[in-house]
Amino acid sequence: MKALSRRAVLKGAGATVALPFLEAMVPARRASAAVDTAKKTRLVCVEMVHGSAGSSAIGIKKNLWAPAAVGRDFDLAPTSLRSLTPFRDILTIVSNTDVDPANPFTAKEIGGDHFRSSCTFFTQAHPKQTQGGDVSCGISLDQLYAQRFGQDTAIPSMQLCIENVDAAGGCGNGYNCVYTDAISWAAPNRPLPMIRDPRVVFDNLFSVLKAGGTQAERAERLAEDRSILDWLLSSVARLQKTLGPADRSRLADYLEHVREIERRIQIVEARNRSGELRELPSAPAGVPDSFSEHVKLMFDLQVLAFASDVTRVFAFKLGRDASNRSYPESGFKGTFHETSHHSGREDKILNFARLNTFHVGMVPYFLEKLQQTPDGDGSLLDNTLLIYGSPMGDSNLHNHKRVPFFMAGRAGGAIKGGVHLRAPNETPLANVMLSVLQALGLHDLERFGDSEAAYNVEHGQHDGSDRNQAEVLL
């Protein structure tokens, strides 16, 4: 019997839904090869702004971000990463690295850290100071990966965000707002727009192929609160007849997951259109006012996208520099910007650590969902790498030293995990990112951003650099 194509989709009048990985997609004589095909590494690049409490002098002593011990016997309990304890075996924490490209290079750039930092994080490149259209930064890590390995999916990569990023023109200190808002750059002059509304993400994932779907049909769907699955009933029925019991069950679970996420988006939209007072009155109707609800929806959409292989690469921006948003769900009600400027006082640093802990605490939800989702002969978590960090270190000083950074996942075996590495002083974070890109398959990449040499993310040594010697002497 002929195998089902990995690119097979369910088509309805207004929606096209890609399928999850099914056994029917495996040709009997090439089972292992097909399973290997399913094991394409998924990449999620998460940026949080304003550094961490653990990057301050007091925070370093108290291990508010990086654990005290290096190697494999690290203790996450005092750190903002403690919620990741169930996943410690797949964690790679690299501490004590710098993002020098976020520093000012000229007098006019001094003071512009908030407006320049975000674009530097995944590019490790210094942006050109301009408010006009002649923006220039670097190519971001996610895009280097997507350009090499994301071209055989319907969407090569997607860019998501949580806060408002639709400001146009200049943001401050002579910087165009795209430097503040875009973390994903396809080329030095091509920042990619970020999507904040889960509804837009959902429609992109399942209507992007638009098999006969029109704007009017989608509007009708919204007005009637219908599901895209309603349009797929006959298509699903036809496919079910050709599948074995295990695949039928897997397809049913997947479609139920699609429907559950769609239902959550509809509930948010209904609530936000009800006329009730909103905490985020200017946000689109599909954006939940709750930070955690929004982040979880976005993570669920990423799991769906990975399961259906619509895309394998996400960039995800959790915050916006200088935001005065508060996070009451963290148990602390202070505003973000003010709390991050802690004046070096221990009580305020500990408050900022609570916010850091809350933000990192969103990640285990995603990792659990990936773990629960089959992919080939394992789970999506086996074949995913999540990178999380910030281009700022001590936000009270607006510096870019000792920035927070960790990775979760083994990327299909490319990264070992279960380790805390403390880099020698003044190590560029770009050295780590270069090593990650090489591990992900870009073996011919010799430089990334301001990298000097690849920093091995398994045992913490530089390849062909005298920094290793410095580490020993210190």
Partner 1 sequence: MTKQLTTMIAVLALAGSVSAQTKKADGLTGTWNMGLQGGHVIPVALVLTQEGETLTGVVSMPTQKIGQTVDVPLKGTLASGAFSLSGTVEGAKDPTTIEITGKLNDEGMLEGRVVMSGTSGPHGDMPYTAERLKERK
Note the residues at the interface with partner 1 (CB under 8 A): 104-108, 110-115, 126, 171-173, 175, 322, 341-343, 396-398, 473
DSSP string, 181-249: H---EEETTEEPPPB--HHHHHHHHHHTT-SS--HHHHHHHHHHT--GGGGGHHHHHHHHHHS-HHHHH
| CB of 126 or CB of 402, closer to partner 1 | 126
State the minimum distance, in angstroms, from the CB of residue 64 to partner 1.
18
Of 176 and 207, which CB lies nearer to partner 1 in the complex structure?
176
Residue 418, judged by CB atoms within 10 A of its CB (0-12, 13-18, 19+), counts as middle
CB of 291 to partner 1, least distance (A): 22
Q: How far apart are CA 398 and CA 38, in angstroms?
A: 43
Please say whether the beta carbons of 102 and 120 come within 8 A.
Answer: yes
* Least distance to partner 1, CB of residue 98, Å: 13
Closest CA to 423 of 450, 400, 401: 401
Q: Distance from CA of residue 265 to its chain's centroid?
A: 20
CB closer to partner 1, 390 vs 438: 390
Closer residue to partner 1 (CB): 128 or 210 = 128
| Distance in Å, CB of 127 to partner 1, minimum | 13
Q: How far is the CB of 337 from partner 1 (least distance, A)?
A: 9
Vertex 184: Cα angle to 399 and 37 (nearest 5): 125
Single-letter amino acid, residue 408:
A
Cβ-based nearer residue to partner 1, 11 or 128: 128
Q: Is 51 left (phi over 0), alpha (psi -120 to 50) or beta?
A: left
In the complex, the smallest distance separating the C-beta of residue 156 from partner 1, rounded to whole angstroms, is 33
For partner 1, give the closer residue by CB, 108 or 238: 108
Least CB distance to partner 1 at residue 341 (A): 3
Integer Cα distance of 376 and 40 in angstroms: 10
Q: Which is nearer to partner 1, 269 or 450 (CB)?
A: 450
Helices (H), 281-331: 291-307
